[in-house]
Amino acid sequence: MSNTSSFNAEEHQKMLRSYFNGNGFNRWSSIYGNEKLSTVRTTVREGHAVMMDKAYEWLQKLNLPDNSTVLDAGCGTGLFSIRLAGNGYHVKAVDIAAQMVNKSREEAKAKSVEDKIDFEVNTIEAVKGTYDAVVCFDVLIHYPAEGFIEAFKNLSGLTKGPIIFTYAPYNRILAFQHWIGGFFPKKERRTTIQMITNENMNRAMEETGMVVKNSQKISFGFYHTMLMHAERK
C-alpha cells in the first residue's frame, strides 16, 4: 500500500530548529522571561506558569526516589529544568535549538544550579537514556499526529515511571482557525499548533503500552493546553 502521508520528520525538525533558533527564540524567550509584554502574551506567560505549577505538583506527588533524574525534553529557556534542579532533581535538559540550550545554561548559572543539569542540543525523537521521569511541555503541540506518535514512542521509552506532557486536543473551533490559517503565507505558519484527536492519542498510548493516569485542561486567556500524566500499564 502506498504511503499517502506528507509528513517528513527531517523537514519538520529542520523547520522547528530554524524557527526556534531565530524568531521563535526571541518570541518565546520573552514570554518565558520578565520583560513587559502585550496583554495577549501576558496571558500566555501566566497560563504557562499555571501549567508548570500543576505539572510540578503532580511530579512531587509521585514521590520519586531521592536524587531522581528527569528528562526535560524541549527545555526551552530552562524554566522547568531550573525549578527541578533547585529542588534536588538531576536534570537532563534537551532542546533542538542551540540558542535555547545556551539560554537555559545561562539562566541555570545565574541560579547556581548548572551543576545539576546536563544540557544537550538534541531532539525529542533522538534523545537517549533512562530517567525516573520524562517531561515535555509545549513541544508536542508543534507535531501533527504522525510525528507526535513517533516522538512519543521515543520519550515514553526513556522513562522508568511517568511521562508528563502537554498537547493540543482536537477542537472544532480551533480546527476552523487552523484551516483559515492555511491561507497565510507558508513562512508565517511555522509554529501552528497541531491538534491531536482522541483517536490518535489512544493510538499513541496503545502503541507505547502507556496508560493515562491524569489529565487536566489548562485554559488561561490565550493559553490553552491539555496536561497529561501517563505511565506504562
Ligand X SMILES: C[S@@+](CC[C@H](N)C(=O)[O-])C[C@H]1O[C@@H](n2cnc3c(N)ncnc32)[C@H](O)[C@@H]1O
| Residues of the shown chain interacting with ligand X in the complex, contacts defined by CB under 6 A | 13, 16, 20, 28, 32, 74-76, 79, 95-97, 100, 123-124, 137-139, 142
**With respect to ligand X, which residue has the nearer C-beta, 69 or 225?**
225
Q: What's the CA gap between 91 and 26, in Å, rounded?
A: 24
Q: What's the CA gap between 161 and 231, in Å, rounded?
A: 6
Residue matched to cell numbers 535538559: 93
**With respect to ligand X, which residue has the nearer C-beta, 122 or 200?**
122
Residue of minimal Cβ distance to ligand X: 76
C-alpha cell belonging to residue 108 = 541555570
**With respect to ligand X, which residue has the nearer C-beta, 143 or 231?**
143
Smallest gap from residue 153 Cβ to ligand X (A): 13
Smallest gap from residue 119 Cβ to ligand X (A): 12
Smallest gap from residue 28 Cβ to ligand X (A): 5
**With respect to ligand X, which residue has the nearer C-beta, 96 or 204?**
96
Smallest gap from residue 216 Cβ to ligand X (A): 16
Cα–Cα distances in angstroms (integers) from residue 32 to residues 74, 167, 178, in the given order: 14, 18, 25
Q: What's the CA gap between 101 and 91, in Å, rounded?
A: 13
**With respect to ligand X, which residue has the nearer C-beta, 142 or 224?**
142
Smallest gap from residue 233 Cβ to ligand X (A): 26
> DSSP labels for 110-163?
HTT-GGGEEEEE--TTT----BSEEEE-SSGGGS-HHHHHHHHHHHHTTBSS-E
